[in-house]
Amino acid sequence: MYKYLNQINSPHDLRRLKETEIEVLSKEIRRFLINSVSKTGGHLASNLGVVELTLAMHTIFDSLRDKFIWDVGHQSYVHKMITGRREDFTTLRQYKGLSGFPKRKESFHDHFDTGHSSTSISAALGMASVRDLKREDHSIVAVIGDGALTGGMAFEALNHAGQNKSNLLVILNDNEMSISQNVGGMSNYLSKLRTTPMYSKVKGDVENLISQIPAIGKTMVKTAEKAKDAIKYFVVPGVFFEELGFTYIGPIDGHNYNALCKALKQSKNISGPVLLHVLTKKGKGYSLAEASPHDFHGVSPFKVDSGKPLSNKDKVTYSDVAGKSLIELAEEDQRVVSITAAMPAGTGMTGFSQRYPHRFFDVGIAEQHAVTFAAGMAAEGYKPFVPIYSTFLQRGFDQVVHDVCIQNLPVTLLVDRAGLVGNDGETHHGSFDISFLSCIPNLTFMSPKDGKELRAMIKYAGKVNGPVAIRYPRGSAGEVASELGEEIITGKGEIVYEGGKDVVIFALGHMNDVGLKVCRSLQEQGIKATLVNPRFIKPLDEYLILQQAHRCKRIYTIEDHIKIGGFGTQVLTLLNDNQINKQVKIFALPDMFVEHGNVEILHDFYGLSGEKITESIIADFVSNASEKMMMSR
C-alpha cells in the first residue's frame, strides 16, 4: 500500500530515492496523514503543506546533528513520521500516546519543545550562539509560518539575529494563512514578494547591477548612493530581511523537492543568518483542505470522503455563547469592541466579526499587543472585550498588570480554554490563569457554571467600569436557555444544591457539574452535602463561604486549575483569616505539567472526576468514623 513510505526507516533512507520516487513518497505521506488524522484528529492542513519541505530538510541536513526547531510545532507530523514514529500515529494526541508537538523526551530528532507561536527563531539563535561558543559546526534551522511571523517574539529574534551574525537558517513557510486568513503589514509584504517580477532573481545579480552605477564627485556619490538604495528597495527581493542583516533567498516553490534541496544547500554555504522564503499550499493534496484550510487546521475525527466530523458537532460551546453574548451586548452598547490574537473562530467570534466588521480587530498572533491595544481603546472610552485562550494569555501578563489594571481600565478578558484542554497537552492547558490573574489588584474575576451564566456574566462585565476576567473551558456549555439567567451581583455566589450540613463543596465554574454529581452520590451514601457556586474568584463571596464553612462539618473545593495559587487556596486563606479551624480539602491539579489526552481521562487520573472526588470524601468520613471509634475505646 505504501511502496516508498515503507522503505523509510530513518531520514537517511530518503537519500536513496530518485526524484520521481520522492514524488510518489510525498503522495503516500499525504495519504497516510489524511487517513491517520481522520481517525485520531489533529492538525492536518499545515502538515499536508510541508511534506516536500520536510523531506528536503531531512535530505540536506542530519536531524540528529543538525537542529530543526518547528515553530508552534503543529506541522511536525511529517518529521515525526520519517524519524521512526510512524507506527505511533494511531495514538496521536491520545493519553500516553504520540504528542501532536515536538517533544525532546519523545525523540533525539526533536531538539526543542514548542506549542506556542513565534518562539523558534529565539530558540534557534540561542542554540546557534552556544554552538559558536563551543566552536561546533552543525546547522540550526528554524521553520516558521507566515502566521507565526506576526508574533512579536519573532521580530525581536530577527532583530537580534541580524546583528548577532551567527550562522542560522530561518525557513519562512508562507502559505498565506494563519489558522484563519493571515493579517497585517508583514503578511501584505509577503504577498508582494510572491508576486514580484523578480520572483526567482538571485539578489547577487541585482546588487552587481547596482554596484555598476558610476559615482563621480562628492554630490554624485551621495546621489548615486540614494539612487542605489531606491533601486534596491524596488528590485531586491526580501529587502526587509536583508536590511535586518539576513541573506534572503526566495521565494521558492515549497512543493518542488529539487528546488528546495538546491536552496537548502545554497543556504548552507552562506555565512550569517539566512532567510529562505518558501511558498506552500496549506492542505496540499486533499482538495477539501485546500479549498478550506481553516476548517482542516485542527480537526476532530472525520469522514475522509466528505470531510464531515464523525461526532455530532452541534453542541453549543462556551465560545459560541461568548460570541453570541458579545453580539447582544454590542447591539446595546456602541462602545463594545472585540479583539482577537489570531483566534477569531476558536474563540467563537466569527459571527461578531461578520456582524460588526468595524468593531472587530484581529491583531495577529500578538497577545501582548492585543491586551495593550485594548487598554488604549479603553482609555479612550471604549469597552473592549478580548476573547483569548488562557494559555496564550500567559503571554500578556505584564500587559494586564501594567496597561490595564494599574489604570483600572474597563477591559474584559474572556479567558477561553480555561482548565484542561485535552489533546494539545501541556503547552495548551489553561491551568495557571487563576494564579496569575487573581493576584492583580483592581481585577474582577469570575467563572460561570454553564453557558447561561456566562451570558449573564458578559452582560454584567459590560457594566463594570474596570478590568474584568471571565474564565470558561473548551467544549460544551450545556443547553443555553434564551433568558439570561440569574442576575450577577458583584461578589455574590449561589447555592446550587442544598443537601445538608455534613459537607460543603465550593465548586468553581464548570466544575459545578462534577460537584452536583458528587453531592448526589454522597447523598446515596447517607452523607448530606451542599454545593456552592462561588461565581466570583475575586472578590470572593466571603459571607457565603464563611457562613457555609461554619455550618458544615467538612469543607471541599473543586477547580480545574493547579492547586498553587488557585481558588481553593484562596478559600483556605479566607477561613484561616477568620479562625475557622476546619479541615479543607482542595481538589485541584498537581504542581506539574499535565500531559495530553482526553479531558475525562486526565481529570480522572488527577482525582478530579465525580467518582474520584466522591471516593475521597467517603474515605474521609470512614477514616474519621474509625478514628472516633478508636478514641472511644
Ligand X SMILES: Cc1ncc(C[n+]2csc(CCOP(=O)(O)OP(=O)(O)O)c2C)c(N)n1
Instruction: Please state the residue numbers annotated as binding site.
Output: 74, 115-117, 146-148, 175, 286, 367
Helix, strand, or coil (residue 84): helix
177 binds Mg ion (CB under 5 A): yes
- Cell numbers given for 77: 507530523
Q: Which residues are annotated as a binding site for Mg(2+)?
A: 146, 175
Distance of CA 184 to the CA centre of its chain: 19
> Minimal distance in Å, beta carbon 484 to ligand X?
31
CB of 282 to Mg ion, least distance (A): 6
474 binds ligand DXP (CB under 6 A): yes
Nearer to ligand DXP, 417 or 455 (CB): 417
In the bound state with Mg ion, the residue whose beta carbon lies nearer, of 114 and 175, is 175
Which residue lies nearer to ligand DXP by CB, 297 or 324? 297
Q: How far is the CB of 154 from ligand DXP (least distance, A)?
A: 15
Q: Which residues pair with 533 in a beta bridge?
A: 494
Q: Which residues are known binding-site members for thiamine diphosphate?
A: 74, 115-117, 147-148, 175, 286, 367
- Report the residue from 251, 283, 307, 346 that binds ligand DXP according to the rule CB under 6 A: 346
Quick check: is 486 catalytic? no
147 belongs to the binding site for Mg ion (CB under 5 A): yes
> 175 or 399, CB closer to Mg ion?
175
Are 33 and 74 in contact by the 8 Å Cβ rule? The answer is no
Q: Based on the shown chain and the rule CB under 5 A, indicate whether residue 298 belongs to the binding site for Mg ion.
A: no
Residue type, 210: I
Least distance to ligand X, CB of residue 395, Å: 6
- Residue 417: contacted member of ligand DXP, ligand X, Mg ion, none (CB under 5 to 8 Å, by partner type): ligand DXP
Q: Which residues of 531-559 are buried (b: 16+ CB within 10 A; e: fewer)?
A: bbbbbbbbebbeebbbebbeebbbbbbbb
Half-sphere exposure of 265 (CA within 13 A, CB side): 8
Sites for ligand DXP among residues 44-83 (CB under 6 A) = 72, 74
Is residue 560 within the footprint of ligand DXP (CB under 6 A)? Answer: no
CA distances from 596 to 80, 423, 465, 602 (A): 17, 5, 39, 8
Nearer to ligand X, 75 or 548 (CB): 75
Q: Is 147 in the site for ligand DXP (CB under 6 A)?
A: no
Distance separating the N- and C-terminal Cα atoms of the chain: 74
For residue 350, the minimal CB distance to ligand DXP (Å) is: 13
Q: Is the torsion defined by CA of 79, 84, 90, 95 positive or negative?
A: negative
- Is cis: bond before 251, omega within 30 of 0? yes
Give the SS3 label for residue 416.
strand
Residue 617 binds ligand DXP (CB under 6 A): no
In the chain, DSSP finds a helix count (H) and a strand count (E) of: 24, 17
CB of 413 to ligand DXP, least distance (A): 17
From the list Mg ion, ligand DXP, ligand X, none, partner contacted by residue 298 (C-beta under 5 to 8 A by kind): ligand DXP
Q: Which of 367, 417, 452, 538 is catalytic?
A: 367
- CA distances to 151, 208, 293, 423 from 512, in Å: 36, 70, 37, 23
- Kindly state whether residue 421 participates in binding ligand DXP, applying the rule CB under 6 A: yes
Strands (E), 234-293: 247-253, 273-279
Residue 206 backbone zone (phi > 0: left; psi -120 to 50: alpha; other: beta): alpha
- Look-up of cell digits 477569531: 344
Among 145, 251, 467, 473, binds Mg ion (CB under 5 A): 145
Residue 30 is a catalytic residue: no
Which three cell numbers mark 361? 480587530
* Residue 292 vs 407, nearer CB to Mg ion: 292
Q: How far is the CB of 583 from ligand X (least distance, A)?
A: 40
* Residue 103 is a binding residue for ligand DXP (CB under 6 A): no
**CA angle (558 as vertex; 100, 439 as ends), nearest 5:** 80
CB 232 within 8 A of CB 208: no
Interacting partner of 602 out of ligand DXP, ligand X, Mg ion, none (Cβ under 5 to 8 A depending on kind): none
When binding is defined by CB under 6 A, the residue of 67, 85, 294, 417 that contacts ligand DXP is 417
* H/E segment holding residue 181: none
Closest CB to ligand X among residues 263, 365: 365
135 belongs to the catalytic site: no
By the 8 A CB rule, do 4 and 25 touch? Answer: yes
Residues binding ligand DXP (CB under 6 A) = 43, 72, 74, 179, 297-298, 346, 417, 421, 424, 474
Catalytic residues: 282, 367, 395
